[in-house]
Chains A and B, each alone.
Chain A
């Protein structure tokens, strides 16, 4: 992890404000300690102290990009999982027998940024031939696999981004949500905030990690490793508007072909959640895929919670003041 962090920190970083003269000044002060071996504990300490306060110039905004994952064509080959691990140099999760179909990684984690889910929907009583989609019981009698390659949703108004107190989480120039590994201090606020259970704190180093939407590859004009490796084009990568257009056409096509359940999850903003830059074509309820049926952005409650919090404190102070004024000699 350490070498990867150094690589990441060597990249020019997009950053939150403030930036400007102070950053330039700090940068000059610290440069010798960043690029040469620090000469002794004091310069190293100084370097560590000043480094997080350096803010680079943000790159120019680019066309927003994202993923559209069509789960109906996923064959569960896990090529995306492997490609993600290889490109991002993520360690293996061991050979675990999860007892949950062909799933051996179980969840997204600090070391698994793509996770292929396997859902077996088989009725013991039903014949092996799928029932006609017209019949009422069609859903309960379907004998089918559902497979879905899951990853960070790159939410447009991302709770993890809103929560992060260090500014480690940024929305980069492609409007993807990216964790600056050299800034994160492992406070876990993003983990608590993510409604999809995506981010995890690593045991190695104690920092949080998740899908970067292959920021490094995108900067070099390459598509993300998972999309590149996917043999069925279940994972599409590209400009987000084009992906939405493409996905809507596919839903219409599926409806015409007798799959009326097909719909898009996360392509447009809902009442309680923003649109996502990684959205999915699903054919069953979101919860069947382990996704929240109605994701909720916790920040919608924040102002009200502050009001109640302040009111609780002010009421107590008022009581104290009244009693003091009434009883003081």
Chain B
């Protein structure tokens, strides 16, 4: 079927057609891009960093208190700060931030955003308690049982806060996201990898040699494990990447992501010094941000130049 592509011309003062509008409707995008800006990539990163750090610290502390308790008491306040920044971004990304509390108006488990908001809200309470009680313990007011209770209570909502994000993004009609079956699997796994890395950095900065030895091994295994969901996610998204990016761009991003995964692994295998741990973590955060900026931001296109804009 042929569609006439000649634009109509006005007689007197011809107005130029707006750029970017196809003639007909067949080749245009059907869905609308949600107005989530670039903040979504940072939100996904901070969400993973906050929940991952809490979960890594809580699980390690509960499994081996003698080794991890000191570092965990520092990890909880750090996780709280990261969470607060993330919540701030979530509020800023609303069309009407003054109505942020409307999120808690109903509880709809079928809506990943509703479930996520409730989980984040609930999680913020034990996390705040754990962080505050950890700081108080440093000042000499030790309520150990209460602090441990807060840590245990925070486990489930903390895990759910990490797990909902990918599902929120894959349960919609947007090109790319709708096919990203492993986005949730990757993001939750990545949250734990980042959390373990952050916990390792804190242990290194505090000179906790036993904790470093254990976490370094765990970090290496987790870095390898994370390649599986990343590969599956990559396979999910190949068709949309082929549409959005040139082959060269795909290779460039692929190479950067691979470097971001391999360099921390190499550094961890080679050495366990504070410097190599910190550099490994910087590379991991860069890789995690890149995956989120390219994959999580698909409907908005990535910071890369898109194919149509070449």
Contacts and interface: CB of A to CB of B under 8 A. Distances in A.
Interface of A: 16-18, 48-49, 52-53, 96-102, 106-107, 117, 119-124, 139-140, 142, 159, 162-168, 183-189, 191-202, 205-208, 284, 287-292, 296, 298-299, 301-302, 304-306, 308-313, 315-317, 319-321, 323-325, 327-329
B15 to A, nearest CB: 4
Contacts of B3: 119-122
Interface in B33-58: 33-36, 55-56
Contacts of B59: 317, 320-321, 324
A287 B22 CA distance: 14
A316 B21 contact: no
B191 interface: yes
A7 B1 CA distance: 48
Contact of B18 (A16, A53, A96, A288): A96
Interface of B: 1-4, 7-8, 10, 15-18, 21-26, 28-36, 55-56, 59-60, 63-64, 66-67, 93-103, 105-106, 108, 110-114, 117, 159, 162-164, 166-168, 170-174, 177-178, 181-189, 191-193, 196, 210, 213-214, 217-218, 221-222, 225-226, 229, 299
Given A195-B173, A301-B181, A320-B222, A185 B166 contact: no
A205 B63 CA distance: 50
A98 B16 CA distance: 8
B184 A305 contact: yes
Contacts of A201: 34-35, 95
Given A206-B96, A291-B30, A302-B171, A320 B192 contact: yes
B186 A324 contact: no
A309 B188 contact: yes
Given A189-B113, A196-B30, A323-B217, A97 B16 contact: yes
A262 to B, nearest CB: 16
B24 A98 contact: no
Nearest to A95: B15
Contact of A16 (B7, B101, B106): B106
B120 to A, nearest CB: 12
21 contacts: A99-B18, A107-B32, A122-B3, A163-B111, A184-B95, A184-B102, A186-B95, A189-B113, A197-B31, A197-B32, A201-B34, A302-B112, A304-B181, A305-B181, A305-B183, A308-B229, A313-B192, A320-B192, A320-B218, A324-B59, A324-B64
A182 to B, nearest CB: 9
Contacts of B196: 316, 320
Nearest to B163: A309
B304 to A, nearest CB: 21
Nearest to A109: B32
A195 B192 contact: no
A139 B17 CA distance: 29
B167 A97 contact: no
Contact of A312 (B17, B170, B186, B214): B186
Given A97-B10, A97-B17, A98-B18, A123 B29 contact: no
Contacts of B35: 186, 188, 191, 201
B140 to A, nearest CB: 28
Given A119-B3, A194-B173, A98 B17 contact: yes
Contacts of B111: 162-165, 189
Contacts of B8: 97, 99, 101-102
A197 B33 CA distance: 8
Listed from nearest, the 4 A-B pairs whose CB atoms lie closest are A186-B95, A99-B17, A206-B95, A309-B184
A102 B24 CA distance: 11
Given A142-B1, A196-B30, A284-B1, 19 more contacts: A99-B8, A99-B17, A100-B21, A165-B103, A167-B106, A184-B96, A185-B99, A186-B99, A188-B34, A189-B111, A197-B32, A205-B96, A288-B26, A306-B184, A309-B167, A312-B182, A316-B192, A316-B226, A317-B192
